[in-house]
Structure 1
Amino acid sequence: MDAAQIHYRSVTVDGQEIFYREAGAPDAPAILLLHGFPTSSHMFRDLIPLLADRYRVIAPDHLGFGYSSAPSAKEFSYTFADLADLTDRFTERVGLTRYALYIQDYGAPIGLRLALKHPERVTAIVTQNGNAYTEGLGEAWAAPLALIAERTPETEAPVREIRSLDGIKWQYLHGLVDPSLVSPDAYHHDAALMARDGQAEIQLDLIADYGSNFDLYPAFQEYFRTSQVPLLATWGAHDEIFVPAGALAFQRDLPEAEVHLLPTGHFALETHARRIGALIGDFLARKV
């Protein structure tokens, strides 16, 4: 059997169907890949085969994203605390007791909440534009920050555009010297799923709740200091959402953190999957 073969599975957690991609030997060291907005485990389609020869790789779609269930915002409380709790129970359902975390965008506060709850389970962290410091917030946060401060129809309006095709395409292509390196399949895939009924309310609720993650930044940073968890940052240096200062800030609390600023944007895997896969393989071989 080809260890790099990806399996597409789902499991029921608290009555919700959670879709996930899995590859690698069941008894190999595990890596949990947590995606960001507005994408899904689809963002890891090129990375998973690069890691699966040595690791058990599992990449779930967060509730409301990708192929996981998407109950309406009236049926489920879309907060980062609730998504983290659901992800925690997902890991237990699929038998993850120790794992390295790969966190990107929304995956960062979800994964770091898992680390606060179960520090003994986390063997290492790979952060790819997954922020934990105020220094990492770029100019693109102006509209979301206004919504977080006060949710009104006026502050919701510009945030609604973030999940449009144009808004999603910008997230994929901004900061790239050669946008032709990014397949349009990526942003059209995300845009189609974001256009489903109920997504506007789901995504507005999550962005409005993002301030709860800022409140946890001191706790995340204390976790880094006390655990000295091995951390690798593979960061798109041209990202205007989470800027390079956020990557460098990890070294303040984790002096041995390894930071690589790559010449790409927010979705670095679209252009640098092989480079990031090689960095992860080398890092985990040395540190875990």
Structure 2
Amino acid sequence: MAVHIHNPNVFHTHQRRLSHTSSSASPASYLFCRHSHAKYPRFICKSNNQDDYLIDAPVSVGDGFSFSGGKYSDQPSPSDEWLKQGKWVKAHRVGGSGVEAKDPIFGLTMGASSQASKDVFRWFCVESGNLDSPPVILIHGFPSQAYSYRKALPVLSKNYRAIAFDWLGFGFSDKPQAGYGFNYTLDEFVSSLESFIDEVTTSEVSLVVQGYFSTAAVKYARNRPEKIKNLILLNPPLTPEHAKLPSTLSVFSNFLLGEIFSQDPLRASDKPLTSCGPYKMKEDDAMVYRRPYLTSGSSGFALNAISRAMKKELKGYAEEMRTSLMDKNWKIPTTVCWGQRDKWLSYEGVEDFCKSSGHKLIELPMAGHHVQEDCGEELGGIISRIISKAALP
């Protein structure tokens, strides 16, 4: 849970299941203390049978709701290494009135990390491969990050220019408060995706998209078919039964409770990634996924906003996606890759849908909802083969 700051000299203690080596270890507690001469408030995380570690955050960069700059220790972390691999791309113009965002609970003005850019949003992306190679854009699901494609990127980079990005509101991309430049509706995700793709390449692209954000990617592809060479969907919501968020995600949309739960990095990152399939998260990977939630309240508020929008709009968008994919005029080569150990979306009806629509189905028996986490290298090979076969005359 993020640290609430009503007074910069007062800190509250929360219990949180957060361990140095395993997200499933016994509960750990944060002991918050500040000495008058200290430059940084020191958060000591104690857990049974584990070494203590610190989360230090400069008071000067607190964002009004939670600290910005928090980290596990002074040692280099996996999230630092991931950030070094990436870059920021500016795409999609900021809307709204331009006034400073305030948190939705206490009405406190948020810090810089929670404010929208003045003109164009910043997207974090990791790119590998030759710039002259055919582009493949990898789109993570809800909620996740570009980091989920870390194992597929090296495989794809051998023959393609592979680009994995963080959606606005996720990972290390901009996370404006809803109502202050971006409201996290699916329509906005469609238009922002168009802006991002137009910014990174003028060529046709192969799109790979996972989970619930498939609905936005298919709508973009329908609007801009001339830009899409191939479309590869990983466990998308293909049946009417799929058009309902699982409780693990819908809880973030609950009134007040959603704001609270979305500030807890274990509920916001660990649980959604590990409860929907066989994925066993390593602590080094968990540190990357938790980092945005530990460093700023903006990540949690963005999660809360997209969860509410998704809960409201998913049914209509999923139906529209099914209609588009079943349309006889749909000309984009489309492949569905399905992790059969998905605990959120049932496999029932998927095979029938692919047969009826004429789209290729690739079954992955050992993967769950987040296919790229469970078999990233294998997925990279599958994507490469799909694209190379499609390129044959």
Deviation per residue, 1:232-285 (Å, 9 max, x gap): 222221222223236435404432412213313222222311221222222222
Amino acid at match of 1:67: F
Separation in 1, partners of 2:286, 2:190: 25
Q: Distance in 1 between matches of 2:286 and 2:191?
A: 28
What residue in structure 1 maps to residue 284 of structure 2?
A: 185
Residue matched to 2:211? 105
Pair 221,253 (structure 1): closer, same or farther in 2 beyond 3 Å: farther
Give the structure 2 partner of residue 9 of structure 1.
87
C-alpha distance in structure 2 between counterparts of 1:223 and 1:286, whole Å:
23
Task: Please give the alpha-carbon distance, in whole angstroms, between the structure 1 residues aligned to 2:369 and 2:197.
Answer: 26
- Bigger-Rg structure (1/2): 2
Q: C-alpha deviations, 1:141-172, integer Å up to 9, x for none?
A: 2475688xxx762xx63685467344332333
Alignment of 1:239-278 (within 5 A): 239-245=342-348, 247-248=350-351, 250-278=353-381
Aligned: 1:24 with 2:129: yes
Counterpart for residue 279 of structure 1: 382
Query: Structure 2 residue aligned with 1:204, among 304, 319, 327?
Result: 304
1:124 paired residue number: 230
The 8 Å contact of residues 99 and 122 in structure 1, kept in 2 or not, is answered as yes
Work out whether residues 18 and 63 of structure 1, in 8 Å CA contact, stay in contact via their aligned partners in 2. yes
1:94–1:152: structure 2 CA closer, same or farther, 3 Å change rule?
A: closer
Match of 1:3 in 2: none
Counterpart of 2:274 (choices 164, 173, 184) is 173
- CA offsets per residue over residues 71-104 of structure 1, 9 Å max, x none? 1123122212112211211111112431111111
| Distance change in 2, residues 1:69/1:165 (3 Å) | closer
Instruction: Out of 63-72 and 250-259, give the one that drifted further.
Output: 250-259
Cα drift, residue 31 of structure 1: 1.1
Q: How many residues align?
A: 275
Aligned partners of 1:31 and 1:102 also within 8 Å:
yes
Task: Spell out structure 1 runs of 4+ moving beyond 4 A.
Answer: 142-147, 175-178
Larger helix proportion of the pair: 1
In the TM superposition, residue 112 of structure 1 has moved relative to its aligned partner by 1.4
**1:114 counterpart (204, 207, 220):** 220
2:324 paired with 1:218: no
Question: Residues 35 and 141 of structure 1: is their aligned pair in 2 closer, same or farther, counting only changes over 3 Å?
Answer: same
Aligned 8 A contact 1:233 1:247 in 2: no
Give the 3 Å change call, closer, same or farther, for CA 152–18 of structure 1 in structure 2. closer
How far apart, CA to CA, are the structure 2 residues paired with 1:274 and 1:146? 32
Which deviates more, 230-239 or 8-17? 230-239
Secondary structure of the equivalent of 2:364? Answer: strand
Query: 1:209 Cα deviation (Å)?
Result: 1.3
C-alpha contact 1:33 1:101 (8 A) present in aligned 2:
yes
User: Percent identity over the alignment?
Assistant: 19
2:87 partner letter: R
Alignment partners' CA distance in 1, 2:278 and 2:184:
36
TM-score by length of 2: 0.62
Q: Is the 8 A contact 2:270 2:289 kept in 1?
A: no
Q: 1:258 to 1:47 in 2, by over 3 A?
A: same
Tell which deviates more after alignment, 60-69 or 22-31. Answer: 22-31
Q: Which has the higher contact order (CA 8 A, sep 6+)?
A: 1
- 1:163 and 1:128 map into 2 onto residues whose CA distance is 28
Which amino acid in 1 is paired with 2:330? S
- Structure 2 portions without partners, runs of 5+: 1-83, 94-119
Runs (5+) with no aligned partner, structure 1: 1-5
Aligned-residue CA RMSD (Å): 2.8
Letter paired with 2:133: A
Contact 2:277 2:342 survives alignment (8 Å): no
SS of the residue aligned with 2:272? helix
Letter in 2 for 1:29: P
1: distance between equivalents of 2:354 and 2:148?
27
Given the alignment, which residue of 228, 232, 248 partners 2:335? 232
